Structure 1
Amino acid sequence: MIQFDIIYGDPKENEKRAEEWITKAVQTGAEIIVLPELWTTGYDLTRLDEIADQDANHAIRFLSYIAKKWNVHVIGGSIAEQYEDGVRNTMLVMNQQGELIHKYSKLHLFQLMDEHLYLKEGQDKAEFTMDEVNCAGFICYDIRFPEWIRKSAVSGAKVMYVVAEWPAPRIDHWRILLQARAIENQCYVVACNRVGADPKNTFGGMSLVIDPWGEIVAEGGSGEEIVTATIDDDLVNEVRKRIPVFVDRRMERY
């Protein structure tokens, strides 16, 4: 997880900085790279018509190059993707061959930061498969909707990737919500948050990897850094057998 300070409204500079950080990360032996939300533009929402990426074409080429060059999987955070009907906040996932294997546009738009005024909500499913492991991807505000996360867990997801620009004043909510999502869904949560500030917000970092018991495996601070952890998806099976939450659900009642 690469939590870095995103330059406001400057895709070219952010791409350069992301590549520098990714180069450092792969030198540690990382096999999966995770970037934060809107890492190309930040929350420069009023200029999205000017700086958004048409059909995500540029970001896909860049992330494909990175994945192939370093033989890594990339959870490409999210980028502002220009469609004919507007802009969406879109996560891109690349495999080690540089192939785009998943796209997800943020479903829940955060009115407190005016997302609903400048972005269109997504219609995509969150689930995907990476290296034969069932996964799902979510973006920031999505984690406040447990029923949306549970949908992917019921579909078999073992690892939930979350990318965010979560503000520092509510960083305690970030940790608590993510731990709750891991515990109730008995899955890993890998959550990458940006650091730094833009003209309106200061962001909290504290990227996290949480295991299916809700234990924090790795945690970042409030500055730029690479946060690493090892995931054992067999632990998900073990926890789900120990406490059979999905067997004991009573869907006829709720």
Structure 2
Amino acid sequence: MQDTVLRVSLAQYDIVWENKQANLSKIKDIVASLAGQTDIVVLPEMCTTGFSMRSHELGETVSEETITYIKQYASQYDIAICGSFIAKENGDYFNRAFFISASSEYYYDKRHLFRMGQEADFFSSGEKRLIFEHKGFNICLLVCYDLRFPVWARNINNEYDVLIYVANWPASRIKVWNTLLDARAIENMCYVCGVNRIGTDGNGLKHDGSSKLINAKGEILTSIPLNQEQIETVSISKEDIDKFRAKFPVWKDADKFKIE
């Protein structure tokens, strides 16, 4: 039987503060450069604005500028695009992750809002986790601060194969980022992809990236050097993770959790 392989590209770059047009242009260049070379490109959190709390001014519906252009790029270059943006819906605002391909679209609203950055004062919290299938892999998509909460990411009965975190994670806490990405991969027996921005945002917070993709054993399959604007692509194997789960089935002894 032929192995199912997924090509994942991590795009680490500096986000232009609150400038959607400049960031959408950058995203188009990134996606265009990967045409024919990848299946998924993962962008940082709030990829068109940076981690801005001006939700009322910058929020959009899924039919407005950001998602309209992302859909165009996904269709034109036949690449799935993953990131998050400031979403507006029925008078509420969300830090909304998206996964958009030429044939499908999925959305997840960030559950854990970063109180130290007053995110909860300007955004509403999501209530549902997202797991979906793409090219033979089940994928769970989460956002930044969600990384600190392992119960929310718990992989019961191998319901997903790939866990993606899009982030604006400050340099001052990069050790935590690296440690928790490793932990989520090992405890959930899955691939973990974490993509973080670089540069200094409009709040003066410095970000140095450390984007990476890790396998279920905690081994780094690809990583991007600190403070480098760079794209790295790696192929991940469904056969590899299935074999490891069969050989070392710790998932059968995992605790169950009820989230309220």
Given the superposition, is the C-alpha separation of residues 131 and 180 from structure 1 closer, same or farther in structure 2, using an over 3 Å criterion? same
Equivalent of 1:41, from 33, 38, 49? 49
Q: CA deviation at 1:249?
A: 2.9
> CA 1:154/1:85 → structure 2, altered by over 3 Å: closer, same or farther?
farther
1:119 aligns with 2:123: yes
Q: Would the alpha carbon gap of residues 250 and 169 (structure 1) be closer, same or farther in structure 2, given more than 3 Å must change?
A: closer
**Number of residue pairs aligned between Structure 1 and Structure 2:** 246
In structure 1, runs of 5+ residues without a counterpart are none
2:108 alignment partner, one of 77, 98, 104: 104
Q: Which residue number corresponds to residue 147 of structure 2?
A: 143
- Distance in 2 separating the partners of 1:48 and 1:163: 18
- C-alpha offsets along residues 118-161 of structure 1, whole Å, 9 cap, x if unaligned? 111012322111123111000001111111111x4446100011
Question: 2:93–2:124: 8 Å Cα contact kept in structure 1?
Answer: yes
Identity of aligned residues (%): 30
Aligned partner of 1:210 in structure 2 is: 214
The runs of 5 or more residues in structure 2 that have no matched partner are: 1-9
CA displacement 1:73-97 (0-9 Å, x = unmatched): 222x100001223210011111233
Which amino acid in 2 is paired with 1:191?
A: G
RCO comparison, higher one (Cα < 8 Å, 6+): 2
2 CA distance for matches of 1:54 and 1:136? 23
- In the alignment, what sits opposite 2:40? 32
Runs (4 or more) in structure 1 with deviation over 6 Å come to none
- Give me the whole-angstrom Cα distance separating, in 1, the residues matched to 2:22 and 2:198: 16
* Counterpart among 98, 101, 107 of residue 95 in structure 1: 101
Letter in 1 for 2:13: F
Give the SS at the match of 1:42: coil
Q: Partners of 1:31 and 1:55 in 2: how far apart?
A: 22
What is the deviation of 1:250? 5.1
SS of 1:26's equivalent? coil
Q: Aligned equivalents of 2:98 and 2:215: distance in 1?
A: 23
Q: Which residue of 2 aligns with 1:15?
A: 24
CA contact (8 A) 1:56 1:81 kept: no
Measured against aligned partners, the alpha-carbon deviations of 1:89-116 in whole angstroms (never above 9, x if no partner) come to: 011111233x31x110100001111111
| Aligned ranges 1:1-254 → 2 under 5 Å | 1-26=10-35, 29-45=37-53, 47-55=54-62, 57-75=64-82, 77-97=83-103, 99-100=104-105, 102-150=106-154, 152-154=155-157, 156-200=159-203, 201-221=205-225, 222-249=227-254, 251=256
Q: Is the 8 A contact 1:126 1:136 kept in 2?
A: yes
Tell me, in whole angstroms, the C-alpha distance in 2 between the residues paired with 1:185 and 1:243: 12
1:9, 1:91 → 2: CA distance?
Answer: 17
Change in 2 beyond 3 A, CA 1:13/1:177: same
Find the residue that maps to 2:169 and give its secondary structure.
coil
Structure 2 CA distance for aligned equivalents of residues 78 and 225 of structure 1: 19
Distance 1:153 1:74 in 2: 26
Shift of 1:211: 0.6
What is the RMSD computed on CA atoms of the aligned residues?
1.7
Q: Counterpart of 2:88 in 1: which secondary structure? A: strand
Question: Is the CA contact 1:73–1:96 (under 8 Å) kept in the aligned structure 2?
Answer: yes
